[in-house]
Chains A and B, each alone.
Chain A
Amino acid sequence: MRRLARLVLAILREIGDENAYSRHLAAHGREHSREEWRRFSEERLAAKYARAKCC
C-alpha cells in the first residue's frame, strides 16, 4: 500500500514537473531558489506548450 502511494505521488510529481525540476537541479549541480525555478519553468513551459494537447 505504501509502495502504491509512493508511486502515485511520483506520478503526480512527474505531471506537476516537480520531478523534472529535481533532475534539473541535480544535472546542473544547483540549489533551489526562486530564480532557478523561474529559469527552469520558463524553459520547460515554453517547450511544453509548443506541442499540441490531446483531444
Chain B
Amino acid sequence: MKFLGYVFWAAVAAGAAVCLGAIAILRGEHINSMWLVLAAACTYAIGYRFYAKFISARVMALNDKRATPAERLRNGHDFEPTNKWIVFGHHFAAIAGPGPLVGPVLAAQFGYLPGTLWIIIGAVLGGAVQDFVILFASMRRDGKSLGQMAREEIGKVGGFIALVTVLIIMVILLAVVALVVVNALRGSPWGTFTIAATMPIALFMGLYLRYLRPGKVLECSVIGCVLLIASIFGGQWVAESASWAPVFTLGAMALAIAVIVYGYLASVLPVWLFLAPRDYLSTFVKLGVVFMLAIGILFARPELQLPAFTRFTDGTGPIFAGKVFPFCFITIACGAISGFHSLISSGTTPKMIAKEWHAWPVGYGSMLLESFVAIMAMIAACVLQPGVYFAVNSPAGVVGATPAAATATISSWGFPVSPAEMSELARNVGEQTLFYRTGGAPSLALGMAHIFAKSGGGPAILGFWYHFAIMFEALFILTIIAAGTRVGRFMIEDLLGSATGVSRRGGWTGILITSAAIVAGWGYFLVQGVRDPLGGINSLWPLFGIANQLLAAIALCVATTIILKMHGARYMWITCVPLVWLVTVTFSAAWQKIFSPVPAIGFLAQAGKLSAGPQTAATATLIFNAHLDAVVCGILLLLVAVVLADSVRVWSGILRGTVEAEIHEAPFVPSQLRPEEL
C-alpha cells in the first residue's frame, strides 16, 4: 500500500514537471489550456501533500489534542467548532474577490507564461504559506487579528502601521475596482440596465428577509438569482429599444458619479436592507460562476491564442507600462499572494476551526483553490485572439482614438485585427463597441463567454454569456465597494477615536461625515482614473498591487517573527524566502513608479512631461494627480520599511539573545470535542 502511495506521488510529481516543462518550452504553436490546468493541479497537489504537511507537522506542530479557540471560547456566534469542509468553503468564499480574476487578465499582456508560473509557484511557496501561518498563529492566540498580533509580536509601531496600510489599500482598491466597473459599463445600455436592476433586487431581498420570510437566506437568494437572470434578458430588451437604450447609455464620468453615489448610500443605509442581501447574492453567484467556469474549461478545453511571451515583456505594454520584472508580480497579487488574505485568516476563520489539523486544508488548501481561479482567468484571457485582447484592453491614448487607428497600431505589433472583426464581435455580444474597455473585466467576460458558448449554445447566445459574465463581475465588485466603504468608515472613526480619545462610531452626523470622507478618498482616485488619457488602470492597478503586496510583507514579518520565536533560525526560511522576494519586487516596482524616467511608468517623469507641454486646467490636474500618486507610493514604501526595520531589530535581538522570545500563545487545554459534535 505504501509502495502504491510512492508510485502515485511520483506520477503526480512527474506530471507537474512534464506539464510545467511543456508550457515553458513550447513556442510558436498554440497550446491547449489543459496543460495549464494539469500543471497547476499537479503542482498544488505536491505542495499541499508534502510542503504544507511538513510545515504543519514540523514547524507548527499541529496537535488535535489541543483545544482550539472555537472549542474553548465557544459562544454559538463567532466561536464555534465547525466541520472542516464547511470552514473551507466559508474561508474560500471570503478570500475570493475580483483580484484573482482581473490581475491575471491584465498580466496576460506579457503572454501566458510569466503570469501562469507566478500564480502557481507564488501560491505554493508564498501565498498559501502566508495564509496558513497567519491562520495558525491566530488560532493559537484566541483568534487575534493581524494588527493585534503585529502589536504583540513586533511592537506598537507595527500594529499602527498595519491599520494605516489597510486604510490606504482600501481607498486604492475601491477606486480601482470601481474603475473596472465603469470601463465595463461605459456606453453599454445592456450592462448598465442589468447592474442597475441589481439594486432593487437587493432591496427586495432585504425586505423579504426582514418581513416576509425571516431567516430564509438560501430561499431568498434563489429568488434573487432568478431575478438576476431575468434582468439580463431585460437588459437585452432595453439595448434593443429605441426609447430606453439612450437612457441607459452612460459615459464614463456619469457612471463614475453613479458609483460614488451608490457607495455613499450603501455605506449609510441599514446593512440588513441593502448590503447584506447583496453580499449573500454575490457570494453565491461568485461560487456558482467559478464552478461553471471550471466545468466549462474542462468541457471546452480551449486552445490558448496568446503566445507564451509577447514583445511587451520589455516594458512597453499598452495596458500598463513596465517590464515583466517587477510588474508582472505586483499585477497578479490575489491568486499568487495577497496581503488582504491575512486579514481573513486572522478574522472569522480561526474562530471556527474545530481541530488544529483542519488549518491545513482551510489555510493552505483554500489559497490553492483561489490560485486555480486565477489560472482559469488567465486561460479565459488567453483564449481570445491577441489582436482582440489588445483592442479591448488598450486605452485610446496609446493605440489611437479611432477604430482604424487602434487596429492599425495593434496589427503593427504583430497581432492582426481589423475594425470589421471588432464590429462583428461587438454586435455578437450586443455591444456598440468593444474598443478601449480597459480594466480587464470586458476581456475576461469575452473569454468566459467564448468558453461557455463553446460548452453549449454556440455563438447564438454569446451576448447572453458576455452580459452574464459582466453582471457577475460588476455584482460582486459593487458589493466590495459597498462593504469596503463601510469598513473604511469604521477605520476612520477608529483612527480619529484613538487620536482624540473621543468614543468612536457615533450618531448619524458622524456616520454621514466619515462616509463622505472615505467616499471622497476613493472617489477622487476614481475620477482621476476616468480622466487619465492612459485609461487609469496603468496608474491605479500597479499602485493597488504594490499596496496589497506590502501588506503581505507585513503579514510575513509577523509570521517570521512567530516562527523565529518558536524554533530559532531553523525554519525562518519558510516565510523569509517569500518575504525577501516580495520586498524586492514591491520596493523595485514602487521605486520605478516614482522615479522611472519613462513617463508611462514613473509618476514624476509623467508630471515633468506634462509640465513641459501646453498648460490648461486639465493638465494642472493631471500633474497634481501624478504627484499625488508618487506621494501615496512613497508613503506606502516608508510605512513598510519601518515595519521591516522594526522586525529585523526584533529578529536580531532574538538571535543574539538580547530580546526575549516570548510566545504569546494561549495555554494548552486538552480537547474534549467529540466527532459527533462536528
Q: Which residues of A contact B (CB under 8 A)?
A: 7, 10-21, 23-24, 26-28, 32-34, 37-38, 41-55
Contact = CB atoms under 8 A, between A and B. Distances in A.
Contacts of A26: 76
B132 to A, nearest CB: 16
A23 B677 CA distance: 12
Contacts of B334: 54-55
B487 A53 contact: yes
B517 interface: no
A43 B341 CA distance: 24
Nearest to B177: A55
A13 B28 CA distance: 48
B526 to A, nearest CB: 16
A43 B484 CA distance: 19
Contacts of B96: 54
A51 to B, nearest CB: 5
Interface residues of B, number: 58
28 contacts: A10-B83, A13-B217, A13-B218, A15-B280, A15-B284, A15-B287, A18-B216, A18-B218, A23-B76, A23-B77, A27-B77, A32-B214, A33-B214, A34-B211, A37-B209, A37-B214, A38-B214, A41-B209, A43-B77, A47-B78, A48-B348, A49-B486, A50-B486, A51-B487, A54-B95, A54-B96, A54-B341, A54-B344
Given A14-B86, A55-B338, 10 more contacts: A16-B280, A18-B216, A18-B217, A20-B77, A37-B215, A48-B348, A50-B487, A52-B487, A55-B97, A55-B99
A21 B93 CA distance: 19
A3 to B, nearest CB: 10
Contacts of B487: 49-53
Contacts of B117: none
Nearest to A9: B218
A11 B77 CA distance: 16
A49 B271 contact: yes
A16 to B, nearest CB: 4
Nearest to A35: B214
Interface in B272-292: 272, 275-276, 280, 283-284, 287
B275 A49 contact: yes
A15 B283 contact: yes
Given A41-B276, A45-B271, A54-B341, A15 B93 contact: yes
Contacts of A37: 209, 214-215
Contacts of A42: 272
B89 interface: yes
A13 B215 CA distance: 11
B548 interface: yes
Contacts of B438: none
Contacts of B215: 18, 21, 32, 37
Contacts of B483: 49, 53
Interface in B76-112: 76-78, 80, 82-83, 85-86, 88-90, 93-99
A37 to B, nearest CB: 4
A38 to B, nearest CB: 7
Contacts of A43: 77
Contacts of A51: 343, 347-348, 487
A11 B484 contact: no
A10 B86 contact: yes
Contacts of A47: 77-78
A32 B216 CA distance: 11
B282 to A, nearest CB: 10
Nearest to A11: B89
Given A24-B76, A55-B334, A45 B276 contact: yes
Interface in B162-186: 166, 170, 173, 177
B75 A27 contact: yes
Contacts of B544: 55
Contacts of A17: 217, 280
Contacts of A52: 166, 170, 340, 343, 484, 487
Contacts of A11: 85-86, 88-90
Which of B215, B283, B347, B483 has the most chain A CB atoms closer than 10 A to its own CB?
B215
A53 B598 CA distance: 35
A28 B304 CA distance: 56
A23 B85 contact: no
B221 interface: yes
Nearest to B214: A37
A45 B487 CA distance: 12
B90 A15 contact: yes
Contact of B340 (A18, A33, A45, A54): A54
A26 B284 CA distance: 26
A38 B256 CA distance: 34
B77 A38 contact: no
B537 interface: no
B664 interface: no
Interface string B322-349: 0000000000011000101101100110
B463 to A, nearest CB: 29
A16 B166 contact: no
A31 B252 CA distance: 50
Contacts of B88: 11
B39 interface: no
Contacts of A21: 215
Nearest to B547: A55
Contacts of B524: none
A51 B429 CA distance: 38
A41 B211 CA distance: 13
